[in-house]
Structures are given as C-alpha cells and as structure tokens.
Structure 1
C-alpha cells in the first residue's frame, strides 16, 4: 500500500474550505487513490475555524523568527467518508481566515503580505509533521500552488528537514499568475525574518523581475521531483512567454518551466470531473433558487452595503417567474481579470451580447463575487439592462440550477489552466462558448461539443466572440437538430478522474 500526503490551501472534501477549482481537485484525486487501495492524508490550514470540531492529534514544535512556535494538528470529519482517506487541519492563532472565501487575504498595498505569513507557519508545521511521521512513512507528498511550495524550500535548505529528501515531491500548478512573491529581507513578511538561521541561496530562489524577492511559485517548479500543469494545452502555453492580453503563457517563469520540461519533470495532465454522487436540483427551480439566495443574503450583515442591488435583482427576477425567457446564457465564476477581462476592458462587447440575446427573448445570468471593480461594473450593467441578471453572491443550489437550466454556458477566460465550469455545464448537456485557451482547448471542440473563439489580436478576439455567439444563436433558432447534436455530444463527454489519476501514477508518482 502506497502512502500519500496532499498539502493544499483548500480542500472541498471538508465543509467551508473552498475558494476555487483547486478545492475540487484536492477533494477528488484522493478519492481515486483510495479506490486503488492506497492511503491518503490531506492537510490544509485551519484558518482559525476548521479545527473547532476536530480531534486533536498532536502538538508540533518548531522554530521561526528565533522563537519557539507550537502548532496543533487536528483530524477533521469530511462531508463524505471514504476508506483510506484522512483529513487534517493545522491550527495556529496566526493562521487567520482571509476575506476571500474565509481563506485568502487581499492585501492590495503589499500583495501576499498576510498570506505569506500564514503559509510560512503552515508549511513549517507540515514539514515538522512529516519529519515526525505523523502520517506514517510517506511515499509521495503532493503540493498544490505557491501556498505549499515552502515545504520544498525547507527540504532543500533547512538542516532540520533533510529527512524529507528521500520522499517523492510532486507540485501542481493551478494558477501560474499568482506567484507568492515576498522580499528576502527588510520586511516583517520576509523570508529572512521568519527563517533567520537558514542560509539563503538568493540566486536559486529569486524572482527574475524583483531580484530582492523570493518567488514561491518558482520554488515549487525548481525543486519538485515532478511538476504538473492541469491540462496538456496549458503546459504548451506556459513554455512560451506571455504577451498580454493576446496571449498568457509562462508569466515570467517560462525558463524554469522549459528547464523542468528538458529534465523530464514537467507533465500536462487534464483535471477530471466528478460524474458520481452529484447533488442535483430539480429542473424549473432556477428563479425560485435565485429569490431564496437573495433573501438569505439580504439578512447577512456583510451584504448590507449591497442590499439595494440585491433587492433590484429580486425585482427583476420576479418578472421572469411569470414570463420565462426563451433562452438563458450564463456564467458562474470568481469575478477576476482571468475570467472577465474581455468584459471589463470592452463593456460595449458585453452590451452587444445582451442586445443579441434580447432578439431571441434571452437573458444573461451571471453569478459570482470577486474583485470590487468587477462587481461594480456588473452591478452598473445590471441596473442598465433588463435582460442581465447579476447575482452577486455564492449559492450552491443556485449554481446547480444554472448549470442545469442554461441553454449556453459562457466562459471567455483570458487564460485557463484547466477550468471545471465548462465540464460541469457539459455534464448537464449544456453547450459552452469559450475562449480557446489552455484547458478550454482540451475540453470544448468547436461545432462538435460547443463553440470556441480566438484571434491573433485583442480586437479580433472580441469580434470573433460576438460572431461565435451569432453562430450559436442562429443554430439554436434555425437548426434545432444541429443544436441537439451538440448538446448530446457535450453530455456524452467524459473527463474522468480515473483516466487522469492513471496518468498521475505513471508520470507524477512513478508508481505505475
């Protein structure tokens, strides 16, 4: 029996520990490993809350800032029990909940300042737990994104953690654009402040642009035994330099990724999607679930500042209860540059989309929260356009309804390492209209399972996005057999975790 440890900032197998697709991956891959009869331990920070109903396992003592630190390891109960999987959290008072999904902090003036501190503590506690064999003797440690890469720094340079060297370490990149860059020195949230007794090889650790800083994403790429991008096309993208907004590639780390590829350490393996035990809403509840979500949010203290807007959305939805639109286009996503750059830079293009939908008695439903400037843009557009319904919050039931009842799912991501939303939409037989980039290229085939657009220049991309929408709406209205064929093809597609994890065992884990 092989013994695995998954280390992550998110884990959707336990309640209230997800901000994005990484949480889905860390939930689903261990389940596949467990089906093979192998053992998996999954560990995330407690964020001051997730340990509260947990079982205390042990105290972990280590040095940081020339001081003794003690963190606590708790075993916690998952949403669903699976054999051979154990879930843990690390608690320490300085590992605090952030303002994004009660996980990440948003420090606009000094990015990563607060998160770096909490993940420095978390990673050191994890390294100490591995050293003490709190999870037994490990064969593979699978790290996810920059929040966990400091474990590799400790393995490489910290004399206390040399015992980690024989273990195979795998590093998955979920979002290369977020790199966890912090100063080497002269800052409370700096490497030297937290690890004053560890000799720093600045050349091996530095960010190319800010050479007085460590790049934690780069640390993962440089020191892992295997590096993993979450789709084959994204692997190809990241080997090339970025040229935004036309092309998002290696984000300044393409040389590190090229080196990993030359050394046979870089693998592009598509994420899977869950096709079992799905929580399904009944059809026909999309407007009711919107109203229920709005009433719930209106009672929350934190939503007081947008109460007027939530009431405005509720009034708009009530019109559609009796006069149901004939066509629903939708998007469910965090409101960020990655997901909606095209709409933020070209709101007139989004208005054109709404005008085209109006002609077929269609609406656009968008659900999400995120960057304040994106929330503000979509609130303004919602006030101005009757057929744009913006639900500015999070609701699992409403998300399920949107995936189930939409006619066309819109995903115009600027870049997309893999994407899960298009898979969830396709699972419901819902054709997607996507920007053909990264994992969207690997999952949506133009005019076979959905619709794709691209272009050599930004302006061409915008034009092609609108032309592709025209094509989709024309097919929906005038060629129902062709539309139904695309729906059926989309529903038949299977991006299974079994297939992905077979490749993990072969390439990432070397346990075939």
Structure 2
C-alpha cells in the first residue's frame, strides 16, 4: 500500500475549510487514492478553530525565530468517511483565521504579511510531523500552491529535515497569480527573521521583480520533483510571458516553468469533477431559494451596508415567481479581475447582453461576492436593468439551483487554470459560453458541448463574445434540435477524477 500526504491551505473534505477550487481538489484526490486501495493523509492549518472537536495526536517542537515553538497535530472528522483517508489540522495560536472564508488574510499595505507567518509555522510543523513519523512512512508528499511550498525550502536547506529528501515531492499550481512574495530580511514577516540559523542560497529563491524577496510560488516550481498545472492548455499558457489583458501566461515565472518542462518535471493534467452523491435541489426552486438566501443575508450584521440592495433584489426576483422567464443565463464566481475583467472594463458589452436577453424574455442571474469595485459595478447595473438579478452573497443551495435551472452558463474568465463551474454546469446538461483560455479550452468545445470565444486583441475578444452570445441565443430560439444536441453532449462529457488520478500515478507520482 502506497502512502500519501497532502499539505494545503484548504481541504473541503472537512467542514468550513474551503475558499476556492483548491479545497475541492484536496477533498477529491485523496478519495480517489482510497478507491485505488492506497492511503492518504491530508493536513491543513487549524486557523484557530478547526481543531476544536479533534483528537490530539502529538505535540510538535521545532525552532523558529531562534526559539522553540510548540504546535499541536489533531486528527479531525471528515464530512464523509473513506477507508484509509485521514484528516489532520495543525494548531498554533499564531495561525489565525483571516477575513477571506475564515482562512486567508488580505493585507493591502504589505501583501502576504500575515499569511506568510501562518504558513511558515504550518510548514515547519508539518516537516517536524513527517520527521517524527506522525503520518507513518510516506511515499509521496503532494503540496498545493505557495502556502505549502516552504516544505521544499526546508527539505533543501534545513539540516534538521534532510530526511525529507527520501520522499518524492509533487507541487500543484492552482493560481499562479498569487505568489507569496516576502522580503529575505529586515521585516518581521521575512524569511531571515523566521529562519535565522539556516544558510540558504538567495539565487535559488529570488523573486525576479523584487530581488530582495523570496517568491514562494517559484520555490515550489524550482524545487519540486514534479510540477503540475491543473489543465493541459494552462500548462502551455504559463510557459509564455503574460501581456495583460490580451493574454495571461506565466506571470513572471515563465522561465522557471520552461526550465521545469525541459527537465521533464512539468505536467498539465485536468482536474476532475464529482459525478456521484450529488446534492440535488428540486427543480423550480431557484426563485424561492434566492428569496430565502436574501432574507438570511438581511439578518447579518456584516451585510447591513447593502441591506437596501438586497431588498431591491428580493423585490425584483418576486416578479419571476409566477411569470417565469423563457431563458436564464447564469454566472457563479468570486467577483475578481480574473472572472469579470471584461465586464468591468466594458460594462457597455454586458449591458448589450442584457438588451439581447430582453428581446427573448431572458434574464441574467449573477451570484457572488468579492472586490468592492466589482460589487459596486454590478449593484449599479442591477438598479438600471430589470432583467439582471445580482445576488450579492453566498448560498450553496441557490448555487445548486442555478446550475440546475439555467439555460446557459456564462464564464468570461480572463484566464482559467482549470475551472470547475463549467464542469458542474455541463454535468446538469447546461451548455456554457466561455472565453477560450486555459482549462476552458480543454472542457468546452465550441458548437459541440457549448460555445467559446477568443480574439487577438481585447476589442476583438469583446466583439467575438457578443457575436458568440448571438449565436447561442439564435440556436436556442430557432434551432431546437441543435440546442438539444449541444445540451446532450454537455451532459455526456465526463471529466472524472479516476482518469485524472490514473494520470497522476503515472507521471506525477511515478507509480
């Protein structure tokens, strides 16, 4: 039996430990490993809360900042039991919950200041736990994004953790844009402050733009035995330099990624999607679930600043309870540049989409929270256009209803390492309209399982987005057999974890 350890910032295999798609991956891959008859341990930080119902496994003593730190390793209950899958959290008072999903901190003055501290402590505790044998004998350690890459720094430079070199380390990139950049010294949240006794080679750790800093995303790419992007097309994208907004590629790390590819360490494998034990909402509940969500948000203190807007949305949705629209376009996403840059820069294009929908008695439903300037943009458009429903909050039940009852799922991401929303939508037989980038190229086939647009310049992309939207509407209204065929193909498409994890075993794990 092979034994794996997954170290990450998120794990949706346990309750209240997810901010994005990484949490899904860290939940699903160990389950698939279990189905292969192997053993998986998953460890994340406790964020001061996740250890409370756990069982203390061991205390971990290690040196940081020239003093002894003591952290605690707890085993915790998963949402769902699988044979040979074990879930752990590392607790230390300085590993605090942030404002984003009670996980990440947002330090606008000094990016990554607080998070770097948390993950320095977390990674050193995990290195100590591996050394102590807390997870038994391990064959593979699989790290996810910059939050866990410091384990590779410890393996490379820390004399106390040379035993980690006997284990194969794999590094998955979920979001290349977020790189975990911190100063080498002269700062409380710097590498030298936390590891004063370790001689390290700055050249091997350096950020190309800020040469007095370590780049933790780069550390993962440079030092792992295998590096993994979450789709094949994204692997091709990241080896080219970015030229925003037309193209988002390697984000300054393309040389490291090209080098990893040359050394045969870089692999693009598409994330999978879950096709069993799915929580299914009843059909016809979308408006009711919206109203329910709005009432619960109205009672939250933190939502008071937008209470008027939530009430406005409730009033708007009521008109569709008895008078259902003929066509629903939906989007579910965090409101960020990655997901909605096209609408932020060209709001007139989004308004054009709403006008096209108006002609066929169609509505656009968008669910999400995020950057204040994006929230304000969509609130403003909602006040002006009656067929735009902006549900400015988070609700799993409503999201399930949207995937179930939409006619077209809209995903105009500026870049997309893999994307899960398009898979969840297709799983329900809903065609998607996507910007053909990264994982969206690998999952949505134009005119076969959905619709895709691209272009050589920004203006061309916007023009093509609108003309592709026209094509989709025209087929829906005037060519029902073709629409049905695209729906059927979307529903039949399968991106299984079994297929992805078989590929992991072959090229990432070398088993």
- Could you say which TM-score interval applies, normalised by the shorter chain? over 0.9
How large is the Cα RMSD of the aligned pairs?
0.6
Give, in whole Å, the separation in 2 of the partners of 1:279 and 1:294: 21
Q: CA deviation at 1:401?
A: 0.2
Is the counterpart of residue 505 in structure 1 residue 505 in structure 2?
yes
**Corresponding residue number in structure 1 for 2:408:** 408
Matching of residues 135-150 of structure 1 within 5 Å: 135-150=135-150
Q: CA deviation at 1:77?
A: 0.5
Give, in whole Å, the separation in 2 of the partners of 1:379 and 1:198: 51
Unaligned runs of 5+ residues in structure 1 are none
**Corresponding residue number in structure 1 for 2:318:** 318
**Corresponding residue number in structure 2 for 1:121:** 121
**Corresponding residue number in structure 1 for 2:436:** 436
Question: Residue 53 of structure 1 aligns to a residue in which SS?
Answer: coil
Is the counterpart of residue 237 in structure 1 residue 237 in structure 2?
yes
Matching of residues 102-501 of structure 1 within 5 Å: 102-501=102-501
Give, in whole Å, the separation in 2 of the partners of 1:104 and 1:358: 40
Q: CA deviation at 1:107?
A: 1.0
Give, in whole Å, the separation in 2 of the partners of 1:403 and 1:362: 16
**Corresponding residue number in structure 2 for 1:70:** 70
Q: CA deviation at 1:279?
A: 0.5
Return 380-389 or 37-46, whichever deviates more: 380-389
Q: CA deviation at 1:475?
A: 0.5
**Corresponding residue number in structure 2 for 1:49:** 49
Give, in whole Å, the separation in 2 of the partners of 1:381 and 1:168: 51
The C-alpha deviation readout for 1:177-215, integer Å capped at 9, x for no partner, is 110011111111110111111112111100001100000
Matching of residues 92-111 of structure 1 within 5 Å: 92-111=92-111
Question: Residue 93 of structure 1 aligns to a residue in which SS?
Answer: coil
Return 450-459 or 192-201, whichever deviates more: 192-201
Give, in whole Å, the separation in 1 of the partners of 2:312 and 2:119: 40
**Corresponding residue number in structure 2 for 1:2:** 2
Return 301-310 or 118-127, whichever deviates more: 301-310
Give, in whole Å, the separation in 2 of the partners of 1:421 and 1:148: 25
Q: CA deviation at 1:385?
A: 1.1
Question: Residue 278 of structure 1 aligns to a residue in which SS?
Answer: coil
**Corresponding residue number in structure 2 for 1:20:** 20
Give, in whole Å, the separation in 2 of the partners of 1:382 and 1:41: 46
Question: Residue 151 of structure 1 aligns to a residue in which SS?
Answer: helix
Give, in whole Å, the separation in 2 of the partners of 1:438 and 1:325: 33
Q: CA deviation at 1:304?
A: 1.4
TM-score by length of 1: 0.99
Q: CA deviation at 1:63?
A: 1.0
The C-alpha deviation readout for 1:36-88, integer Å capped at 9, x for no partner, is 11000001111111111111111111111111111111111011100000000
Q: CA deviation at 1:14?
A: 0.6
Q: CA deviation at 1:216?
A: 0.2
Question: Residue 44 of structure 1 aligns to a residue in which SS?
Answer: strand
Give, in whole Å, the separation in 1 of the partners of 2:321 and 2:460: 38
Q: CA deviation at 1:173?
A: 0.3
The C-alpha deviation readout for 1:68-114, integer Å capped at 9, x for no partner, is 11111111101110000000001111111111111111111111111
Q: CA deviation at 1:347?
A: 0.8
Give, in whole Å, the separation in 2 of the partners of 1:418 and 1:302: 32
The C-alpha deviation readout for 1:114-168, integer Å capped at 9, x for no partner, is 1111011111111110111100010000000000000000110011111100100
Question: Residue 166 of structure 2 aligns to a residue in which SS?
Answer: coil
Question: Residue 170 of structure 1 aligns to a residue in which SS?
Answer: strand
Give, in whole Å, the separation in 2 of the partners of 1:378 and 1:105: 25
Give, in whole Å, the separation in 2 of the partners of 1:121 and 1:373: 34
Give, in whole Å, the separation in 2 of the partners of 1:2 and 1:40: 9
Q: CA deviation at 1:246?
A: 0.6
Give, in whole Å, the separation in 1 of the partners of 2:295 and 2:425: 26
Give, in whole Å, the separation in 2 of the partners of 1:56 and 1:431: 47
Give, in whole Å, the separation in 2 of the partners of 1:78 and 1:205: 36
Question: Residue 28 of structure 1 aligns to a residue in which SS?
Answer: helix
Q: CA deviation at 1:303?
A: 1.2
Give, in whole Å, the separation in 1 of the partners of 2:57 and 2:373: 43
Q: CA deviation at 1:478?
A: 0.4
Give, in whole Å, the separation in 2 of the partners of 1:177 and 1:348: 27
TM-score by length of 2: 0.99
Question: Residue 291 of structure 1 aligns to a residue in which SS?
Answer: helix
